[in-house]
Amino acid sequence: MWSRRAFLRTSTGLGAGVLTARPAAPDAVGRSAEALAAQTPEASAQEEPYWRAVQDAFAVDRTTVNLNNGAASPSPRVVHEALVRHVEEANRRPVEYGRVLAERVETARRALAAEFGCDPEEMAITRNATEALHIAQAGVDLRSGDEVVTTDQDYPRMLWMWDQRARRDGIVVRRLQFPVPTTAADLLRRIEEAVTPRTKVLHVCHITNVTGQLFPVRELSRMARDRGILTIVDGAQAAGHIPVNLGELDCDVYGTSLHKWLMAPLGTGFLYVRRERIERLWPLQATVAGMRGNIRKFEDIGTQPAAARAALVEALEFHRTIGVERKAARLRHLTLRWAEALGAHPRVRLLSSVEAGQTWGLATVAIDGVNAATLAPTLLERYGIVVGAAVSQGLPGPVFPFSGLRVTPQVCTTLGEIDRFVDALRDVLRT
């Protein structure tokens, strides 16, 4: 059994350069990507020389293994350098450079809209998914007795907002429970059965943060629109992770963080609002009446640092250089590597479907008889591995209880790091 101290001692054998920044490598990533142009995403996912070039574009601390990128991912070096450059220039000439940053934020808005399939006038840049979704949750007009349908596996901060509106406005919040994993057909059936004539809002995840369960967003959105129901989608674990086209999803509102799968600076996210819904949705902070139909009313929160938003341009360019299809295939390749290695053990149970088109870079594994909330810190202390703990929450006495480790690699994750996680869990299973 390894201790954390022993692990750190042995990690020095990797060389003094583990924490040393290498030269930025976005050009190398682009050149390598050109060589893979004729390959399918699934084939290119296994081209290790290419992914080594991608890994070299990051300056990460490899004395620990970060398998919790679904919480926050490191940015590529080129993105971090842009952020630092903007911060330094804003400090040197805050008023003058503020105008430069404002123009760059508009460039980022156009780039985000192009990447995610909407009009730039439907795209607000926010600080994270919580801010984006809270704008919609607090901004929709609801009266006492109106119903909101959501699930007990939605993100806690969003559930707290609906609970607050229930206390403040007398609305009814219906949290559905479902097994993990389940199917799109099961989710659609459960939600359709929960909807009543008093339902005004349907709030679901695109991909849940606990087990990576994929929701049939397009089908749910169209069902809801036919019944006059507003659809709010939490895309914090989807945008930048898998292909996302907001026009095709057909939802009314979509909020996400960009510091996870898009690998943008901390404090970046976006709020998409369908054009015809913008005017009827109130911003969190008051704006002049003339902004009523302007998507920028959701960003008008007074003086704020713009450097992180400006650096979204580099984050999007790096993301596009890899290609979202290739990126999703690589994340799935990394997930299948550990899932297939551990899945045959009788005490191991996957809480995520590993069927094609269901799971990419977020999956959850349970070990019978082991509490994930205890195991996650143990993996860090003994093996230097960072994972998340996914535990059923929300309603008391859940119908479908679960406890597992949420594993979220990133494109900078190496095969060796995945194998260290496998070895650590095998050690846990033995002891």
Quote the pLDDT of residue 197.
98
Angle at 68 between CA 67 and CA 70, to 5 degrees: 125
Q: Strand 253-257 vs strand 363-367: parallel, antiparallel, or unpaired?
A: unpaired
* pTM of the full structure: 0.92
Quote the pLDDT of residue 2.
37
Quote the pLDDT of residue 409.
98
AA identity, residue 31: R
Q: Is the distance from CB of 231 to CB of 205 less than 8 angstroms?
A: no
Q: Tens digits of per-residue pLDDT, 36-72?
A: 888 999 999 999 999 999 999 999 999 999 999 999 9
Q: Provide the pLDDT confidence category of residue 11 given band limits of 50, 70 and 90.
A: very low
Kindly tell me if the per-residue pLDDT of 417 is higher than 50.
yes
Kindly tell me if the per-residue pLDDT of 17 is higher than 90.
no
Q: Provide the pLDDT confidence category of residue 28 given band limits of 50, 70 and 90.
A: confident
CATH numeric code, 81-317? 3.40.640.10
Q: Strand 363-367 vs strand 403-407: parallel, antiparallel, or unpaired?
A: antiparallel
Three-state SS across 38-63? Answer: CCCHHHHCCCHHHHHHHHHCCCCCCC
- Residue 259 and residue 388: Cα distance in Å, rounded? 16
Q: Is the distance from CB of 417 to CB of 60 less than 8 angstroms?
A: no
Residue with tokens 């704020």: 304
- Residue 17 and residue 221: Cα distance in Å, rounded? 50
- Mean local confidence (pLDDT), 175-187: 96
Quote the pLDDT of residue 421.
98
- Residue 282 and residue 74: Cα distance in Å, rounded? 33
Kindly tell me if the per-residue pLDDT of 10 is higher than 70.
no
Q: Provide the pLDDT confidence category of residue 398 given band limits of 50, 70 and 90.
A: confident
What architecture (CATH level 2) is domain 4-67+323-430?
Alpha-Beta Complex (3.90)
Residues of the chain with CATH 3.40.640.10: 81-317
Kindly tell me if the per-residue pLDDT of 358 is higher than 80.
yes
| Least confidently predicted of 26-30, 79-83, 117-121, 183-187 | 26-30
What is the distance in angstroms between the CA of the first residue and the CA of the last residue of the chain? 9
Residue with tokens 């929450």: 393
As a whole-number percent, the residues of the chain with pLDDT over 70 amount to 93
Q: Tens digits of per-residue pLDDT, 270-286?
A: 999 999 999 999 999 99
Per-range mean pLDDT, top range of 28-32, 234-238, 371-375: 234-238
- Residue 220 and residue 304: Cα distance in Å, rounded? 36
Q: Provide the pLDDT confidence category of residue 34 given band limits of 50, 70 and 90.
A: confident
Kindly tell me if the per-residue pLDDT of 147 is higher than 90.
yes
- Residue 332 and residue 334: Cα distance in Å, rounded? 5
Kindly tell me if the per-residue pLDDT of 20 is higher than 60.
no
Measuring CA to CA, which residue among 62, 75, 78 is closest to residue 24? Answer: 78
Quote the pLDDT of residue 6.
38
- Residue 54 and residue 425: Cα distance in Å, rounded? 27
Return phi, psi of residue 348, to 5°: -100, 135
State the burial class of residue 28 (Cβ atoms within 10 Å of its Cβ: 0-12, 13-18, 19+): middle
What burial letters (b/e) apply to 44-78, b meaning 16+ CB within 10 Å?
A: bbebeebbebbbbbbbbebebbbbbbbeebbbbbb
Contacts of 17 (CB under 8 A, 6+ apart): none
Q: Is the distance from CB of 363 to CB of 355 less than 8 angstroms?
A: no
Q: What is the CA radius of gyration of the chain?
A: 22
Kindly tell me if the per-residue pLDDT of 395 is higher than 70.
no
- Residue 384 and residue 63: Cα distance in Å, rounded? 7
As a whole-number percent, the residues of the chain with pLDDT over 90 amount to 87
Q: Tens digits of per-residue pLDDT, 193-210?
A: 999 999 999 999 999 999
Q: What is the DSSP string of 145-211?
A: T-EEEEETTS-HHHHHHHHHHHHHH--EEEEE---SS--HHHHHHHHHHH--TTEEEEEEESB-TTT
Residues of the chain with CATH 3.90.1150.10: 4-67+323-430
- Residue 89 and residue 183: Cα distance in Å, rounded? 50
